[in-house]
Amino acid sequence: MAAAGDSRDRGGVSARTGWPVALLLGLAVALALLAATFRLSREAALADLTDAAASVAQERVQALESILARQRAVATVLSDDSVMRQALLAPSIANRSDASVKLAGLQAQTRSSVLYLLDREGVAIAASNWNEAASFIGQDYSFRDYFSQAILAGEATQFALGTVSGRPGLYLSHDITAGADQVGVIVVKVEFDDLEANWARDPNPTFVTDEAGQVFLTSLDDLRFQQIPAPEPTQFATHLEVPGAPGWRLAIHSSSRPALRWAGLTTGSAGLLLLLVALAAGRAWRHQREIRQKAEAERRYRADLERAVAERTRDLSDEMRERRAAEERLSKLQGDLVQANKLAALGQITAGVAHEVNQPLATIKLLAQNGLAMLPSDQAPDVAGNLGSIVRMTDRIAQITTELRSFSRKATGHVGPVSVKEAVEASVLLAASRGSGRDMRLEVAPIPAELRVMAETVRLEQVMVNLIQNAQEALAGRPDPLIRILVGEGPMVRITVADNGPGLAPEIAATLFTPFATSKPEGVGLGLVISQDIARDFGGRLTAEPPRPGTGAVFHLDLPRAP
């Protein structure tokens, strides 16, 4: 009996010794699991925050790029305006007044802050604010970099405080020439109050810096014209270059606290679950030791414990469903914010153009239809054909304006199968209506009627018309002009537009798809850039073959073949 008692004592000591070791081991495993849960959930939340910040930064860069492109186009167009040139060459009171009135009208249309004309000495002789107390007329701006750089390089960009208004803004300038002589400079000032006010509604600060790292656009006015601050310990930075503005960078300092809160919540939930599991295991161990004495009580306790676990599981499931619903609402709000910013940038322009074009277009169509109705059917078939072409062309323009209006709505993924044959034939018809292409031969290789690509009809025709018109302009005045259109089949359908013109000069080929780079005296330099962006939207690409002596220009439009 003594020996049996000793054995039980030894077993009891061993059990009591093993229990703390198992507890410490379980605690160590639980802490390791919680640490891994915190790290993984924090990394996942940070990745989501980084993606959201990159999306917002890209959206703001596009809005800023749109404003810069529009105002640069204004300066470029005004640099070749006859009213501006006449005010510089014959600076009478009447000519200066005409220039000021025209600038005032354009200022309202282009949403510029102020437009003004400087003579060769840098003195303002006309301005859009000519009738205001703070008029720029008579002010000497020869000390400004945007004036001296425009005289030296033809155009310039400078962000500075206004000497008269005291308001910060971006100055875009372009020289005006008469023959080989520079006679003055046109200046467009752009203020970004609306853009910065929109940024300020976001708790995460936004900055735009120049090549020296100095802040000139920001949602925090106190940091303007200072060096961009370093992100706080609870922030991370998102940087993007601003296309079309060398040296400009947009930065957003986003808070990382939501990731920490999410990681803490996830880790706490995991800890609670581990605690429940540990409690269940401990109680089960105690129940096993007392099972002989308390069998019925143990069964009741197990039932109570299972109900508690089931209730907690239901609570966790409800919480997860609520969290998923919150994430879906957040995603929808982000989509609505993207759409609101898009409408803010393009809504007024789209509505104005569509409204102004549709009214005269409807009149043209009505007159053409009346002409067809009044023309005897057996007389002047050519006239009837031309009037019919006018009706069809007005319908096509109406379709384009409809597409323009639809741009202000949320994107619905209109890309789908488009007939290559119909798109090419429509593009040839549109391009043939230009006077410069009447004496040119245009050869189109046979295209299978069933061949389709993934695209959008109007935008595909826009790309084709641009390529054909570029070829027509390159062939103007050349003997035996010829344009060829070939279609190659495969997983990617290749549409080739080639001409027998002088080809692309090496310096032009190097900047072919750069915005505002053009060799045409009246060109803007956006046609090929827009066409390339459209091709990318379709999942394809637009390329040009390298220039070769004795051969014309060759462009390839590769688009995914429709299934």
- ∠ Cα 370 371 372 (to 5°): 90
Nearest 5°: phi and psi at 557?
-110, 110
DSSP string, 224-262: TTSBPPPPPTTEEEEEEE-TTSTT-EEEEEEE-HHHHHH
Cα(492)–Cα(416) distance, rounded to whole angstroms?
15
Round to whole Å and give the CA distance between 452 and 466. 20
Classify domain 194-255 by CATH number: 3.30.450.20
Q: How far is residue 389's CA from residue 405's CA, in Å, rounded to a whole number? A: 24
Q: Are strands 215-218 and 206-209 parallel, antiparallel or unpaired?
A: antiparallel
Structure tokens at 222: 């106190």
Contact 126, 103 (CB under 8 A): yes
Same fold: 79-191 with 194-255: yes
For the chain, the structural domain boundaries read: 79-191, 194-255, 416-560
pLDDT (0 to 100) of residue 4: 46
* Residue 161: partners with Cβ closer than 8 Å, 6 or more residues away: 167, 168
244 phi/psi in degrees, rounded to 5: 80, 0
The Cβ-side half-sphere exposure at 288, using a 13 Å CA radius, reads 5
Query: What distance in Å separates the CA atoms of residue 289 and residue 195, rounded to the nearest whole number?
Result: 72
Q: How many CB atoms lie within 10 A of CB 331?
A: 11
Indicate the pairing of strand 541-544 with strand 441-444: unpaired
Evaluate if pTM is beyond 0.85.
no
Q: What is the DSSP letter of 123?
A: B
The amino acid sitting at 323 is R
Give the residue carrying structure tokens 């999410």: 262
Question: Which helix (H) or strand (E) segment is 361 a member of?
Answer: helix 295-374
Tell me the pairing of strands 482-488 and 441-444.
parallel
Residue 292 is predicted with a pLDDT of 79
* 534 token code pair: 């459209």
pLDDT at residue 10, rounded to an integer: 47
**Confidence (pLDDT) at 451:** 95
* Highest CATH level, class, for 416-560: alpha beta
The hierarchical CATH code for the domain 79-191 is 3.30.450.20
| Spatial CB neighbours of 178, under 8 Å, sequence gap ≥ 6 | 85, 88, 89
pLDDT mean by block of 10 residues, the chain; 563 residues: 47 55 80 88 86 88 85 88 92 92 88 91 92 88 92 89 82 91 92 84 88 83 83 88 83 86 86 83 80 83 88 89 83 54 50 66 80 71 76 73 50 76 88 62 92 92 91 86 92 94 84 74 72 92 88 93 91
